[in-house]
């Protein structure tokens, strides 16, 4: 124990030496370090040219200005979606055509082999077809969206977004760094939740964790984009429709941010009351992104990653859906029984039973919600399979009575519902308490149900549909 005592003695000795001048001594120590650094830098760094205009600062003054910051943010967001939506249309249609041509050949093969029809149904109409949908609906938007988003990230734009949003988070009683963790959530909510570790205060970290799921992640963006594209294009002329689709996706993202702020404010005024802490946010210098590298990495790390995950889950899910849709109890398939049971409730929210079933079955990964939905609409039904996006639209509208309101409510529910399995596991790992994980699932689900129901009754009440 002697060393502990003498360490205490040392502390006392130091206190005696500094006396009441502790703060001044601290300052003097820091000052000496700074002036040493200044001296060394002055002696070793020289600039060949006179100080150039500080471009970084000039750009920042515009990008983070109170007047221009937000319009530019929204404009960039819209531009990214517009490029994605207009660009994804044609390759999507081509992929669908190619993949369903292969499906027809597979069917021919099974017929030639004289295979039992259940085997053909399970493997081709179930597993293969859901894979084909995942690839044709999700791949093109992802292959365009992720590289652009990664370029913005590399350029250094995201911290500027955080800077712009900072004061709103402070007003909501949350930590300014939540703007950063939220931005990470656009990539992946599980990653966003891990990023919440940068927030020191447990109260603010919890707020950031519980609200992270309100921004659409990599897995949900393609669904939103696909829904907007399929539904809105075809109904009006091409240029109008792509603009509408763009605005609806960008509007949903803004809605997601607004809900994040609102729920953060509610939490910090009820369950999680407390002081807001201060922090410094450095705006990193803009860097020229390595375009080639970015494209390769974003395609490999994000597109292939998300697509693989979606395909791994979609294959068995597709098989299961086919089984559910083709196993009958009495006159109706099991899938129809489940959907029928959920239907009355779903109707209040502007959805239908199949849509809600797809969301529930999509718990392992958000990527597969839409493919599951198409599968459950198609399998077991006498309808011809939709071989193009236009036909898909027809399936939704003529076959299942979709309106723009159904599409809107589905998109809202994509934005606000329980987090995917991975995210829930991450929350549990980070917070160690079951009740926060449960709350993290309940908050967005209740928000989604309320919001969908509200929009549904509002639109119908106003006679807009």
Partner 1 sequence: MGLTYQSTGTLTTREAFNVPASDNQPVIALAGNPNTGKSTVFNALTGLRQHTGNWPGKTVLQTKGTFIHNGRKYTLVDLPGTYSLLANSIDEQVARDFICFAQPEATIVVVDATCLERNLNLALQVIEITNRVVLCVNLMDEARRKQLRIEINGLSKALGIPVVATAARSKEGLPELLDITCKVVSKQLEPNPKAVRYSPEVEEAISRLEPQIKALFGNSINPRWVALRLLDGDMNLIKNLKKYHHRERIKAAREAFA
Query: Which residues are near partner 1 by CB under 8 A?
Result: 3-4, 6-7, 10-11, 13-15, 17-18, 22, 25-26, 28-30, 32-34, 36-38, 40-49, 52, 150, 153-156, 158-159, 177, 180, 194-195, 197-198, 200, 281-282, 284-285, 287, 290, 293, 297-298, 301
Shortest Å distance, C-beta 207 to partner 1 = 17
Q: Which residue lies nearer to partner 1 by CB, 186 or 418? A: 186
Q: Which residue lies nearer to partner 1 by CB, 293 or 308? A: 293
Shortest Å distance, C-beta 76 to partner 1 = 16
Shortest Å distance, C-beta 196 to partner 1 = 9
Please state the φ and ψ torsions of residue 333, each to the nearest 5 degrees. -75, 160
Shortest Å distance, C-beta 42 to partner 1 = 8
Contacts of 262 (CB under 8 A, 6+ apart): 172
Q: Which residue lies nearer to partner 1 by CB, 72 or 155? A: 155
Three-point CA angle 415, 420, 423, nearest 5°: 110
Name which of 181, 184, 214, 89 is nearest 143 in CA terms: 89
Distances (CA, A) of 239 to 85, 86, 89, 225, 233: 11, 9, 12, 16, 9
Name which of 260, 247, 70 is nearest 161 in CA terms: 70
| Distance between CA atoms of residues 400 and 279, nearest Å | 52
Shortest Å distance, C-beta 287 to partner 1 = 6
Q: Map residue 433 onto helix, strand or coil.
A: coil
Q: Which residue lies nearer to partner 1 by CB, 187 or 444? A: 187
Name which of 307, 403, 422, 421 is nearest 355 in CA terms: 403
Q: Which helix (H) or strand (E) holds 357?
A: helix 353-361
Name which of 366, 358, 16, 54 is nearest 213 in CA terms: 366
| Distance between CA atoms of residues 331 and 20, nearest Å | 88
Shortest Å distance, C-beta 448 to partner 1 = 29
Q: Which residue lies nearer to partner 1 by CB, 5 or 462? A: 5
Q: Which residue lies nearer to partner 1 by CB, 159 or 318? A: 159
Q: Which residue lies nearer to partner 1 by CB, 45 or 462? A: 45
Shortest Å distance, C-beta 257 to partner 1 = 18
Q: Which residue lies nearer to partner 1 by CB, 84 or 303? A: 303
Q: Map residue 411 onto helix, strand or coil.
A: helix
Shortest Å distance, C-beta 188 to partner 1 = 12
C-alpha 294 chain-centroid distance? 20
């Amino acid at each position: 124990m002697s060393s502990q005592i003498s360490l205490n003695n040392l502390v006392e000795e130091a206190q005696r030496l500094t006396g009441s001048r502790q703060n001044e001594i601290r300052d003097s120590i820091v000052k000496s370090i700074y002036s040493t650094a200044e001296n060394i830098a002055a002696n070793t760094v020289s600039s060949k040219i006179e100080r150039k205009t500080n471009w970084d600062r000039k750009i920042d003054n515009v990008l983070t200005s109170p007047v221009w910051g937000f319009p530019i943010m929204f404009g960039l967001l819209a531009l990214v979606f517009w490029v994605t939506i207009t660009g994804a249309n044609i390759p999507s249609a081509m992929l669908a055509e190619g993949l369903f041509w292969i499906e027809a050949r597979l069917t021919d093969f099974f017929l030639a082999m004289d295979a039992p029809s259940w085997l053909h149904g399970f493997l081709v109409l179930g597993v293969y077809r859901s894979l084909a949908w995942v690839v044709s609906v999700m791949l093109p938007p992802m292959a365009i969206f992720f590289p652009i988003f990664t370029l913005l990230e590399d350029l250094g734009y995201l911290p500027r977004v955080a800077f712009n949003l900072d004061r709103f988070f402070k007003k909501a009683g949350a930590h300014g760094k939540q703007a950063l963790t939220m931005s990470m959530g656009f990539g992946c909510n599980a990653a966003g939740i891990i990023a919440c570790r940068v927030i020191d205060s447990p109260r603010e970290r919890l707020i950031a964790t519980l609200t992270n799921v309100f921004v659409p992640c990599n897995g949900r963006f393609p669904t939103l984009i696909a829904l907007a594209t399929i539904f809105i294009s075809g109904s009006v002329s091409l240029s109008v429709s792509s603009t509408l689709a763009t605005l609806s996706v960008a509007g949903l993202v803004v809605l997601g941010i607004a809900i994040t702020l609102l729920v953060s404010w509610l939490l910090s005024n009820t369950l999680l009351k407390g002081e807001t802490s201060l922090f410094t946010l450095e705006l990193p210098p803009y860097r020229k992104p390595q375009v080639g590298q970015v494209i390769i990495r974003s395609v490999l790390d994000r597109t292939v990653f998300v697509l693989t995950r979606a395909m791994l889950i979609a294959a068995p899910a597709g098989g299961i859906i086919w089984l559910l849709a083709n196993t009958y109890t009495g006159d109706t398939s099991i899938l129809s029984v489940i959907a029928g049971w959920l239907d009355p409730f779903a109707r209040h929210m502007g959805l239908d039973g199949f849509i809600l079933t797809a969301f529930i079955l999509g718990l392992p990964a958000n990527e597969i919600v839409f493919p599951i939905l198409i599968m459950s609409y198609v399998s077991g039904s006498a309808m011809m399979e939709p071989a193009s996006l236009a036909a898909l639209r027809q399936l939704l509208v003529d076959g299942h009575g979709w309106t723009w309101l159904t599409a809107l409510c589905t998109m809202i529910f994509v934005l606000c519902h329980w987090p995917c399995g991975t995210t829930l596991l991450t929350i549990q790992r980070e917070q160690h308490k079951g009740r926060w994980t449960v709350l993290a699932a309940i908050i967005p689900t209740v928000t989604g149900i309320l919001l969908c129901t509200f929009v549904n009754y509002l639109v119908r009440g106003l006679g807009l549909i």
